[in-house]
Structure 1
């Protein structure tokens, strides 16, 4: 389906919310270890504000650098629990989203956005509490001409993101988990958390011994 010059693919599956809830219990760093330290988006994409954290199912968007027509069109395709994942080619000359789109993502049910590009209105986005992850900030607004795609796989920070993939993002960065590996990743990360708890206990015992 094509809306003007934005191509839309629909109909992919989304994991159950209880699966996303289980992922919310874990850090991106531990999830990365659980996936053999693969599927981690490069460190240039970081939270716009301190404390931002999100776990959701990917709604991928491909834009022309400096243009957000496809991002605006994607609002009609957001489902509760989605995280909007935008390949904006890392372009630093124009912001792809600002506070208005961030608010709309939230109202439409998205849990946040990951942008391989730049955004603006960082202070307002922080005040709104909408989790946004991007390469940086610029005050320059976008064009709105297109073309673009919605719902096709995109590359973000060196990782391919398919529609419906599980995306987790926190202070350390962003990781992408294919749904068919969800249970494997959760089992592995739970084992990692248990092992780290044992290591923390060892350190605490050493601290007490040295006191």
Structure 2
């Protein structure tokens, strides 16, 4: 690392894992992984419903500085999700419309910014998914330091380069490639069970007897 700057090679996407997790709800994925997985405090800046499933391309920057994000944009490939640890700082926007258009032109399918963004109308108009901690019109500095393609933490969740990032209107989860197929299978089973429950509610056949049973076990 020179002057606090390190640029590591990109990690190629786990195509099978991305295909397997595509379309699954983040809440269901979190449920089948112990209900501990997922971001906190990062919300879509888009007003329309959003969804993404792609390859994590990670960046760690100093609060309010986006020099290394610009370098990361040059390295993006189709299917990448740019995931930025901006130290949770919202005093300056780390990305805006120009960087969004650059990333989209490189094939990125979404941005995750643990920091602030600006030009949010452009993200909505272009239908480009972006999750962030806040919005701020003030622009960033461009001095560094920073690291490209190393483990980071966004919204309290560790993300490694090459993880499968799944995002929707509820938030985001990151899945290690080695676990993607197994977790996708569990999530599909749970999604089917939830669909069955919803159908029972709609038909009037649903029973909530488990609630009283749980309370009885607690001595109520």
Question: TM-score if structure 2 supplies the norm length?
Answer: 0.88
Given that residues 78 and 110 in structure 1 are in contact (C-alpha distance below 8 angstroms), is that contact kept between their aligned partners in structure 2? yes
Q: Map residues 131-170 of structure 1 onto 2, 5 A cutoff.
A: 131-170=129-168
Task: Pick the aligned partner of 1:106 from 100, 104, 107.
Answer: 104
Q: Take 1:101 and 1:12, find their aligned partners in 2: how far apart are those partners?
A: 21
Summarize the Cα distance change of 1:103–1:30 in structure 2 as closer, same or farther, 3 Å threshold: same
CA deviation after TM superposition for structure 1 residue 48, in Å: 0.4
SS at structure 2 position matched to 1:155 = strand
Summarize the Cα distance change of 1:67–1:6 in structure 2 as closer, same or farther, 3 Å threshold: same
When Rg is computed on C-alpha atoms for both structures, the one with the higher figure is 2
Alignment match, 1:77:
75
Summarize the Cα distance change of 1:176–1:8 in structure 2 as closer, same or farther, 3 Å threshold: same
Alignment match, 2:212:
none
CA deviation after TM superposition for structure 1 residue 201, in Å: 1.8
Structure 1 residue 178 corresponds to structure 2 residue 176: yes
Q: Take 2:170 and 2:84, find their aligned partners in 1: how far apart are those partners?
A: 19
Alignment match, 1:48:
45
Given that residues 39 and 177 in structure 1 are in contact (C-alpha distance below 8 angstroms), is that contact kept between their aligned partners in structure 2? no
Alignment match, 1:15:
14
SS at structure 2 position matched to 1:90 = coil
Unmatched runs of 5 consecutive residues or more in structure 2 = 206-220
Task: Pick the aligned partner of 2:201 from 195, 200, 203.
Answer: 203
Alignment match, 1:97:
95
Name segments (4+ residues, structure 1) moved above 4 Å: none
Given that residues 20 and 180 in structure 2 are in contact (C-alpha distance below 8 angstroms), is that contact kept between their aligned partners in structure 1? no
CA deviation after TM superposition for structure 1 residue 56, in Å: 0.8
Report the number of matched residues.
Answer: 205
Structure 1 residue 6 corresponds to structure 2 residue 5: yes
Q: Take 2:195 and 2:171, find their aligned partners in 1: how far apart are those partners?
A: 22
CA deviation after TM superposition for structure 1 residue 121, in Å: 0.4
Structure 1 residue 124 corresponds to structure 2 residue 137: no
SS at structure 1 position matched to 2:195 = helix
Given that residues 111 and 130 in structure 2 are in contact (C-alpha distance below 8 angstroms), is that contact kept between their aligned partners in structure 1? yes
CA RMSD of aligned residues (A): 1.8
